[in-house]
Structure 1
Amino acid sequence: MLRLLNEHHDGTVRVVGAGHSWNPGIETPDALVDLRHLRHVRVHEGRTRVTVGAGCRIGALLKHLTRRGLTLPSIGLIDRQTVAGAVATGTHGSGRHSMSHYVQSMRIACYGANGDARVLTVDSGPMLRAARCSVGALGVVLEVTLACVPQYYVRERCAWRPGLDAVLEKERDAPLQQFYLVPHAWRYLAQERSAAEENRRRGGRGSLPRVLADHDRRAPPCVTEVLRLAAAQPSPGAPRVSAHSAPVHLPPVARHRPQRPSASHAS
């Protein structure tokens, strides 16, 4: 990587991730770097930290951690992003904090004061806060060290809330919550989640079907699709879900085909 940076010192170097959040920011007439082969994973002694290559997909990292009874503190619905890409863009998971909040150190290939390429380890202070969501502006991320925790069960309650203030009032009791603003209804569906006190399955069926039963069936298909995604299976390695919030499989959303225009027309 240092050789590549030195060779393109006067050019424009960009890094491509998984392409999950594609945008013109990676366009360059010079060097475009793909880090897919930097996918090593190492759990540190004490099992509270994991160091992972920048090109490793989140899903692959979660599978590695799962085999050791571990997971990440915050996980999103989608796990196809690269670790470095998710961190660089502040990708969020369930709850207030994003994956970037749990970054403890990063190794970044960048240019020094004399213009030569070097590898810099960032592990504290304003530089770490900047690197946690730098969108590539500080250099090419090579490696990330994240906090990891033992796998845990999640307690969940789904409820309709009349406004955003009502949703945020529950944040203290449900630090892992996520919510959806339903178009046209202008109501919020909150999945109020917290770590279960007992690390085991318990309870009955989930509350999401009851929420769906209360929902206006005349809502647009996009609303039903949002609710279906809310009940989808978690990613491999995601925090285990208690029985009363177990995934619920809903019927697929009906697809409405537009009517073809009539062949007759005014002359």
Structure 2
Amino acid sequence: MTLLQPGARWRNWGRSAAASPAHVARPTSVDEVVAIVRSAAERGLPVKVVGAGHSFTDIAATQGVLVHLDGLQGVLAVDAERKRVRVAAGTRLWQLGPALREHGLALQNMGDIDRQSIAGATSTGTHGTGLRFGGLATQITAATLVTGRGEVLHVDEQHRPELLPAVRLGLGSLGILVEVELQCVESFLLRSVDHPAPFDEVLDSWHERAREADHFEFYWWPHTDLAMTQTKTRLPAETPHTPPRRLALWAERRLLENDALRAQQVVGHLIPPLVPALSRFATNVYGDGVRTGVSYEIYASPRHVRFRESEYAIPLEALPQALRDVRGLVERSGWRISFPVEVRAAAADENWMSTAYGRPSAYIAVHRYFRDNPTDYFRAFDALMRTYDGRPHWGKMHFREADDLRPAYPRFDDFLGVRDQLDPDRRFANRYLDRVLGP
């Protein structure tokens, strides 16, 4: 049976990108990935990998060969002494949490969505929140990838270590990740405290809240004066606690966080003048709450309401004024924005294409219901964030190009040099990478 099957139309989760590849491939081994790349090269076709499709850009889109890595999943090896785990690249984050727990381990940090594959999440710069923690890619200590010429390359602290800062977060431009080794930590619990607070009060105390908490984030609903804060505290795994009741947790996450939100979005889409009142009502519904549980259960929540998103990283200290500027932008525009704005923070790191490269960063993420046109809002947000030396999240919608991204990334040209080494023929190129990296 040929590895290259006839293509079928593909769409991402947010319905903001689509493609009609000539072929699809579903390898179940590293050797098959090698064969796919070499076969595509013989046909002169580009190759792209897709995970869960949770990127909002067209970073995975191709007219050539679209590769699904769902056949490469699972924990491959565990080094209990060093707390390192080797994982197949197609493993989904929701699978990884329970698998690591069986070995008394956990990811040191996660985002609030766990549907992505580990390769897709790290390659696009997925992050959580917490000033003592970097994005998911900072947890990679080794990686195995198939290069543009169909060669298997292993990179770790002893073999080609100079490539690690590029390979950890490669935008899918350097090769097909097939395995990653992750630096884990001992299993732990999280206590999450949700509490509404006045918008200005939260911004005035931003620096203290972000620095003092293990993980702090907040949501601001446009057209309101309240922010919904969320503070997570790390606890030893053996800490006595009462886990959330499954029925109550299901009701909260399904009925409140998703079904109620969906109803709000549908009504706001059909009757925009109602959006401010609906948002004010939402701030009263999403009130105080405390939950304690295993880390991966508290970090992530299900997302059943489709949306589109744009997110920027800016210098940490710029956050209060930048968010006030976002609020002013919405107020002046007359837009009716029904989705909340999310704010997080992350530690500086050394990965060349990381949005947090070389600086502690604050993240502002704006969203729109997927049936609402996001263009005007996202373009204005994009332009505003540029004035704060912002760096766009690689998996979220933005309008930047290589020429104006280069000054934002001190190691931009070094990254392109690695790309020239590992994919000189641009086997993994597509329109998105041409835009943000150049041809």
Partner of 2:305: none
Are 1:180 and 2:212 matched, yes or no? no
Distance 1:79 1:110, change over 3 A: same
Distance 1:232 1:14, change over 3 A: farther
Q: 2:69 aligns with which of 14, 31, 35?
A: 35
Deviation of 1:101 after TM superposition, in Å, equals 1.6
Name the SS for the 1:121 alignment partner: strand
Decide which structure has the larger Cα Rg and report it.
1
Partner of 2:49: 15
The separation in 2 between residues aligned to 1:57 and 1:104, in whole angstroms, is 18
**Alpha-carbon deviations, 1:159-209, whole Å to 9, x = none?**
426243522322332122222223223443332223236841369x9xxxx
Partner of 1:213: none
Deviation of 1:89 after TM superposition, in Å, equals 1.2
Partner of 1:251: none
Deviation of 1:98 after TM superposition, in Å, equals 1.8
Partner of 1:168: 207
**Is the Cα contact below 8 Å between 2:191 and 2:293 reproduced in 1?**
no
- AA matched with 1:7: S
The separation in 1 between residues aligned to 2:173 and 2:86, in whole angstroms, is 22
Are 1:118 and 2:151 matched, yes or no? yes
Partner of 2:130: 95
The separation in 1 between residues aligned to 2:293 and 2:154, in whole angstroms, is 31
Partner of 1:53: 88
The separation in 1 between residues aligned to 2:293 and 2:167, in whole angstroms, is 26
**Is the Cα contact below 8 Å between 1:151 and 1:239 reproduced in 2?**
no
Deviation of 1:117 after TM superposition, in Å, equals 2.0
Given the two structures, how large is their TM-score scaled by the length of structure 1?
0.71
**Is the Cα contact below 8 Å between 2:194 and 2:289 reproduced in 1?**
no
Deviation of 1:33 after TM superposition, in Å, equals 0.7
Moved more, 232-241 or 99-108: 232-241
Q: Aligned residue pairs: how many?
A: 224
**Alpha-carbon deviations, 1:77-104, whole Å to 9, x = none?**
2211111111111112242422112111
Distance 1:170 1:37, change over 3 A: same
The separation in 2 between residues aligned to 1:44 and 1:187, in whole angstroms, is 46
User: More helix per residue: 1 or 2?
Assistant: 2
- AA matched with 2:34: L
Distance 1:92 1:193, change over 3 A: same
- AA matched with 2:164: L
Partner of 2:373: none
The separation in 2 between residues aligned to 1:60 and 1:100, in whole angstroms, is 18
Name the SS for the 1:196 alignment partner: strand
Partner of 1:73: 108
After superposition, the CA RMSD in angstroms is 3.3
Question: What are structure 2's unaligned runs of at least 5 residues?
Answer: 1-32, 245-276, 302-439
- AA matched with 1:109: V
**Is the Cα contact below 8 Å between 1:52 and 1:144 reproduced in 2?**
yes
Please list, as runs of the form range in 1=range in 2, the aligned pairs for 1:145-160 lying within 5 A after superposition: 145-159=181-195, 160=197
The separation in 2 between residues aligned to 1:191 and 1:223, in whole angstroms, is 13
Question: What are structure 1's unaligned runs of at least 5 residues?
Answer: 206-216, 242-246, 248-267
Partner of 1:135: 171
The separation in 2 between residues aligned to 1:91 and 1:49, in whole angstroms, is 20
Partner of 2:296: 238
Please list, as runs of the form range in 1=range in 2, the aligned pairs for 1:201-240 lying within 5 A after superposition: 201=240, 219-223=279-283, 227=286, 238=296
Are 1:82 and 2:151 matched, yes or no? no
**Is the Cα contact below 8 Å between 2:191 and 2:291 reproduced in 1?**
no
Partner of 2:36: 4
**Is the Cα contact below 8 Å between 2:167 and 2:174 reproduced in 1?**
yes
What percent identity do the matched residue pairs reach?
30
**Alpha-carbon deviations, 1:21-77, whole Å to 9, x = none?**
254232222211111011030222316111111111111111111222321111222
The separation in 2 between residues aligned to 1:109 and 1:4, in whole angstroms, is 10
Partner of 1:189: 228
Distance 1:32 1:235, change over 3 A: farther
Moved more, 29-38 or 43-52: 43-52
